[in-house]
């Protein structure tokens, strides 16, 4: 039975528009979950685009680089959507195109895996779709030994056996990965290098490509054909077909365990195409991540924009919606993105899209009582009974919800999308999960 | 400087836009053909019966809202739908106080004590019908001949109008006298809204298409009725009518699409819904064969609704769970 929801529109896969460098960028010192960098520049320093401005060696965070050339203006604090303040470096652009010269690396793959991983860290690569963790952290997490994998308690590691590359965004209304994939064109050497490097680092055996059924990428398919890479086609409109668990299920031929984020142990590492290309750039010429292709989504259209990291959302909003006055600003796509309270906020490496919605574009949650119509159970891609789970969480029966497989929920939002009572299902699920985890921690 | 602050909420930020009110109105629209057929067959009096029931339900709900100091919930049309469904299950010539009282009782006993829409364990309309059937059996039993009776077999003006199921209950061999296509097209004595399986099927298809109901319960119910009747007929052809007769008489079609799939009182898991329908269908035949004068389909479905929490436990294995046990 096909589950999930059919979303009405599909993002166009047009080329990304290159943004005029902004006058000022604000670079958050914490670009990834849990780890932040230490600045290595002072106020008044002149920096070039691509020059390292903060170092994450101490905490294992990915390094941070200036995204435009100019002068370090100030250190500031930015209020994040979770209410905490985070330090950031403000760079005022000089309008020039000063770029840190690339260091050509002749045989990038001759290095040891650990060294490759260190170079990836130094290039500051963040996996936007994986809860904004750095590529190093993602690989580390998947490969590190854990005690609970073994009945004796001795820590063992589960190897990464498959690498799956996602060429299309999970959210059908976001077109950033489609645009990046479209830019590959005929030259697939970078893609090949990125894949080879990741294979070397993870010692995985197989590579898989996940493409939308309408995507025509002849060169990529040829590369797949030549290198024994399996190509899987999904329908992006059948949301959430491009989410990690569903791709992993297609790769493995069976469903991986998703509860408690154990999908990392399934042996499948799902990475976005932009991450793979950034890896290739980092290893080939030491080029760090300074720009990001993101989707600007609004009711007037969907566009892909390549912008320097740290560009204010306001500047991107201008491109997204000329003259449109939004009511809701979302970092990410409309199905899984995070609403933000202000446009006065810098884009970070984990931003995949900026979605602007007017009052008439979105329906407010009503939270009427569940009427047990069964629509949510029909669409849930993980075959849960979301209506029942949401009620259990609403009435604070969190332990019972956990027994009813609350943690198998992947928070895709299909249930909330179809709910005629307008219940904020995902909110109940997330609350339930955090309450259970907090209860366990305090035990 | 006051900068603009935006709305924050958790994902998803888009919704389908379907509302409970729309779903209830769709259900009403799906019932229009059956109502129209009832009006054609039994005259305009049935509209008065429907309005009496709906008024009873709406007035009671508004009063309950008022007394309980709660927001008025009649705007979602659920009370009106309860009245409509209740009226459609009543014979055409009932005294008018019966549907009105039924509407009042449906809300007062079947819905209001449990809270807002979505809390009642049994379908309120069925609660109303069954209270009426238990309390005023003589007043309920007022069937009339349909306009097309002349075409129907056994049309005898002198004999009192008798629903096929009652006739067959008295003498099972009578089943052979009814022509299946006539029953299917709605030429039969019966309750206002239940006599035309064809139009009810069309209404049901509309509900399925608009995703107001799921397919499992109706299909399970029809299979339950057909299979149980088929087996029973095969064992004792002399005392049980064939499956087609049971599918097209009484409230079978009405029950399948408008009662078995009532949201709150029925399960939500795929297998739960199917088995709910299957068992309810079986129980309907049991009641029809082993005796009960009125409300066999409502009784069967109410009985099964009591087991809805159990049916809801028949959930699918969540994603990836089968693999972990293997």
- pLDDT 10s digit of each residue in chain B, 326 long? 456 788 888 889 988 888 999 999 999 999 999 999 999 999 999 999 999 999 999 999 999 999 999 889 999 999 999 999 999 999 999 999 999 999 999 999 999 999 889 899 999 999 999 999 999 999 888 888 888 865 544 545 545 678 888 888 888 888 888 888 889 988 889 999 999 999 999 999 999 999 999 999 999 999 999 999 999 999 988 888 899 999 999 899 999 999 999 999 999 999 999 999 999 999 999 999 887 778 899 999 999 999 999 999 998 889 888 754 44
Pairing mode of beta strands A238-239, A268-272: unpaired
- Strand A17-18 relative to strand A46-47, pairing: unpaired
Maximum separation of any 2 CA atoms in chain A, in Å: 64
The angle subtended at Cα A308 by Cα A303 and Cα A314, nearest 5°, is 60
pLDDT value of position B1: 40
**A38-39 and A64-65 strand pairing:** unpaired
CA distances B11 to A172, A305, A396, B87, B178, Å, are: 15, 23, 21, 42, 57
pLDDT, position A246: 92
Instruction: Inform me whether the C-beta atom of residue B166 falls under 8 Å from chain A C-beta atoms.
Output: no
Residue B270 forms contact with A (CB below 8 Å): yes
Residue A156: pLDDT over 80: no
Q: Taking the CA atoms of chain B, what radius of gyration do you get in angstroms?
A: 21
What is the pLDDT, as a whole number, of residue B197? 95
Would you state the pLDDT for residue B221? 97
Average pLDDT over residues A10-31: 85
**B2 interfacial to chain A (CB closer than 8 Å):** no
Helices vs strands, H then E, count in chain B: 16, 0
pLDDT value at residue B89: 95
Give the start-to-end residue ranges of the domains of chain B: 20-140, 150-311
B121 phi, psi to nearest 5 deg: -75, -25
State the DSSP H helix or E strand holding residue A297, giving kind and residue range, or none if neither. strand A291-298
If you average pLDDT over residues A131-151, what whole number do you get? 80
Over range A308-323, report the average pLDDT: 85
The CA-CA-CA angle for residues A83, A89, A92, to 5°, reads 125
Read off the pLDDT band of A166 (50, 70, 90). Answer: very high
Tell me how far apart the 2 most distant CA atoms of chain B are, in Å. Answer: 89
| B310 in A contact zone (CB under 8 Å) | no
Residues of B in contact with A383 (CB under 8 A): 315-319
Q: Kindly report, residue by residue over A222-253, the tens digit of the pLDDT.
A: 999 999 999 999 998 898 999 999 999 999 99
Inspect the interface and report whether the beta carbons of B11 and A337 lie closer than 8 Å: yes
d(CA B92, CA B52): 13
The per-residue pLDDT for A399 is 94
Q: What is the pLDDT of residue A365?
A: 80
Cα–Cα distance measured from residue B281 to residue B287, given in angstroms and rounded to the nearest whole number: 10
Instruction: Look at B268 and A385 and tell me if their CB atoms are within 8 Å.
Output: yes
**d(C-alpha A25, C-alpha A50), whole Å:** 13
Q: Is any Cβ of chain B less than 8 angstroms from the Cβ of A334?
A: yes
Indicate the pairing of strand A24-28 with strand A230-234: unpaired
Q: What is the pLDDT of residue B2?
A: 52
Phi/psi of residue A133, nearest 5 degrees: -100, 155
Domains and CATH numbers, chain A: 1-18+112-148+157-362 (3.40.50.11540), 375-442 (no CATH)
Residue from the list B3, B11, B321 with its beta carbon closest to the beta carbon of A342: B3
Task: Report CB contact under 8 Å: A427, B23.
Answer: no
Beta pairing, strands A162-166 & A206-212: parallel
Best of A259, A371, A381, A406 to substitute, by most chain B Cβ atoms within 10 angstroms, is A371
Tell whether A365 is within 8 A of chain B (Cβ): yes
Q: Which helix (H) or strand (E) holds A74?
A: strand A70-79
Determine the Cα–Cα distance for residues A109 and A104; give it in Å rounded to an integer: 13
pLDDT number for residue A407: 93
pLDDT at A339 over 50: yes
Judged by CB atoms within 8 Å, which residues 159-198 of A form the interface with B?
A: 173
**Is A382 close to B318, i.e. CB distance below 8 A?**
yes
User: Residue B83: which H helix or E strand, with range?
Assistant: helix B78-88
DSSP designation for A364: P
Tokens at B137, concatenated: 């059996």
Mean pLDDT of chain A: 89
Given this model, what pLDDT does residue A320 score? 75
How much is the average pLDDT of A329-337? 90
- Interface contact B320-A387, CB threshold 8 A: no
A387 — contact with chain B (CB < 8 Å)?
Answer: yes
Q: Is A406 on the interface with B (CB under 8 A)?
A: no
Query: What is the rounded distance in angstroms from the CA atom of residue B46 to the CA atom of residue B55?
Result: 14
Say if B14 is an interface residue toward chain A (CB within 8 Å): yes
- Which chain B residue shows the shortest CA-CA distance from A5? B16
Cβ–Cβ gap B319/A388 under 8 Å? no
Of A376, A388, A408, the CB nearest to B318: A408
What's residue B294's pLDDT?
A: 82
Q: Is the pLDDT of residue A149 over 70?
A: no
Which pLDDT score, from 0 to 100, does residue A39 have?
92
Q: Give percent above pLDDT 90 in chain A.
A: 53
pLDDT tens, A186-197? 889 999 999 999
Tell me what percent of the residues of chain A surpass a pLDDT of 70: 97
Kindly list the residues from chain A whose CB atom is less than 8 angstroms away from the CB atom of residue B315. Answer: 383-385, 404
CA distance B29 to chain A (A): 18
HEC readout, A179-230? HHHHHCCCCCHHHHHHHHHHHHHHCCCEEEEEEECCCCCHHHHHHHHHCCCE
Which of A373, A383, A411 has the CB atom closest to B318's CB atom? Answer: A383
Distance, CA of A66 to CA of A283 (rounded, Å): 19
The pairs formed by B227-236 with CB atoms below 8 angstroms and a separation of 24 or more are B227/B281, B227/B282, B228/B281, B228/B282, B228/B284, B228/B285, B228/B286, B229/B285, B232/B285, B232/B289
Put simply, the answer to whether A340 touches B266 (Cβ < 8 Å) is: no
Predicted pLDDT of residue B160: 67
Q: In the prediction, which pLDDT does B3 show? A: 67
Q: Write down the pLDDT at residue B82.
A: 97
CB contact under 8 A, B5 and A81: no
Residue B182: its pLDDT value, please? 87
Give dist(CA A397, CA A413) in Å, integer. 21
| Residue B236, number of CB atoms within 10 A of its CB | 11
Q: Determine the Cα–Cα distance for residues A126 and A278; give it in Å rounded to an integer.
A: 9
CB pairs under 8 A between A and B: 173
Cis bond upstream, residue A326 (ω within 30): no
């Amino acid at each position: 039975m096909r589950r999930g929801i059919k979303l009405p529109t599909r993002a166009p896969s047009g080329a990304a528009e290159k943004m005029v460098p902004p006058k000022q960028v604000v670079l958050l010192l914490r670009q990834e979950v849990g780890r932040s960098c230490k600045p290595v520049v002072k106020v008044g320093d002149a920096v070039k685009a691509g020059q390292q401005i903060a170092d994450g060696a101490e905490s294992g965070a990915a390094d941070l680089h200036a995204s435009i050339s100019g002068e370090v203006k100030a250190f500031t604090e930015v209020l994040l959507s979770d209410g905490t303040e985070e330090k950031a470096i403000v760079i005022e652009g000089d309008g020039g195109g000063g770029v840190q010269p690339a260091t050509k690396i002749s045989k990038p793959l001759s290095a040891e895996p650990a060294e490759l991983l260190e170079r990836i860290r130094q290039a500051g690569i963040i996996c936007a779709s994986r809860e904004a963790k750095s590529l190093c952290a993602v690989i580390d997490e998947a490969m590190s030994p854990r005690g609970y994998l073994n009945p004796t308690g001795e820590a063992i590691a589960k190897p990464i056996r498959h690498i799956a590359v996602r060429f299309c965004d999970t959210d059908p209304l976001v077109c950033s990965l489609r645009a990046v994939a479209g830019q590959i064109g005929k030259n697939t050497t970078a893609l090949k290098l990125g894949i080879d490097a990741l294979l070397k680092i993870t010692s995985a055996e197989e590579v898989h490509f996940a493409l939308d059924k309408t995507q025509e990428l002849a060169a990529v398919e040829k590369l797949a054909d030549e290198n024994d890479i399996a190509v899987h086609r999904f329908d992006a409109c059948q949301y959430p077909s491009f989410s990690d668990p569903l791709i992993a299920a297609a790769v493995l031929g069976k469903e991986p365990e998703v509860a408690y984020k154990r999908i990392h142990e399934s042996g499948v590492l799902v990475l976005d195409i932009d991450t793979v290309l950034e890896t290739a750039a980092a290893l080939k010429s030491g080029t760090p991540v300074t720009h990001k292709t993101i989707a600007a989504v609004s009711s007037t259209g969907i566009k892909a924009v390549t912008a320097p990291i740290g560009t204010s959302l306001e500047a991107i909003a201008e491109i997204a919606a000329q003259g449109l006055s939004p009511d809701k600003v979302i970092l990410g796509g409309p199905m899984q993105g995070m609403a933000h309270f202000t446009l006065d906020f810098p884009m970070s490496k984990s931003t995949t899209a900026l979605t602007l919605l007017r009052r008439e574009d979105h329906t407010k949650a009503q939270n009427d009582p569940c009427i047990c119509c069964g629509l949510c159970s029909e669409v849930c891609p993980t075959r849960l009974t979301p209506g029942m789970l949401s009620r259990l969480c609403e009435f604070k029966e969190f332990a019972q919800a956990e027994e009813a497989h609350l943690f198998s929920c992947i928070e895709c939002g299909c249930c909330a999308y179809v709910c005629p009572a307008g219940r904020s299902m995902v909110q109940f699920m997330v609350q339930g999960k955090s309450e259970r985890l907090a209860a366990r921690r305090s035990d | 400087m006051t900068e603009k602050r935006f709305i924050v909420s958790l994902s998803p930020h888009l919704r389908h836009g379907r509302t409970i009110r729309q779903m209830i109105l769709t259900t009403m629209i799906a019932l229009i053909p059956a109502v129209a057929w009832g009006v054609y067959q039994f005259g305009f009096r049935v509209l008065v019966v429907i309005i009496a029931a709906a008024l009873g339900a709406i007035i009671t709900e508004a009063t309950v809202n008022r007394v309980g100091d709660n927001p008025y919930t009649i705007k979602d049309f659920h009370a009106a739908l309860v009245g409509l469904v209740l009226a459609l299950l009543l014979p055409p010539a009932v005294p008018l106080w019966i549907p009105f009282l039924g509407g009042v009782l449906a809300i007062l006993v079947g819905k209001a004590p449990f809270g807002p829409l979505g809390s009642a364990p049994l379908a309120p309309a069925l609660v109303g019908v069954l209270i009426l059937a238990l309390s005023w059996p003589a007043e309920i039993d007022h069937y009339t001949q349909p306009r097309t009776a002349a075409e129907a077999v056994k049309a005898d003006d002198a004999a009192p109008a008798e629903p096929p199921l009652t006739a067959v209950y008295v003498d099972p061999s009578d089943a052979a006298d009814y022509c299946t296509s006539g029953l299917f097209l709605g030429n039969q004595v019966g309750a206002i809204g239940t006599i035309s399986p064809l139009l009810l099927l069309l209404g049901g298809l509309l509900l399925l298409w608009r995703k107001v109901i799921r397919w499992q319960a109706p299909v399970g119910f029809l299979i339950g009725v057909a299979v149980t009747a088929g087996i029973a007929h095969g064992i004792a052809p002399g005392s049980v009518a064939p499956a087609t007769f049971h599918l097209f008489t009484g409230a079978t079609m009405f029950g399948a699409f408008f009662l078995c799939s009532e949201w709150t009182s029925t399960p939500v898991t795929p297998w739960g819904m199917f088995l709910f329908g299957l068992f309810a269908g079986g129980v309907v035949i049991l009641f029809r064969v082993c005796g009960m004068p009125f409300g066999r389909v409502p009784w069967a479905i109410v009985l099964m609704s009591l087991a809805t929490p159990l049916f809801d436990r028949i959930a699918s294995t969540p994603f990836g769970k089968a693999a972990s046990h293997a």
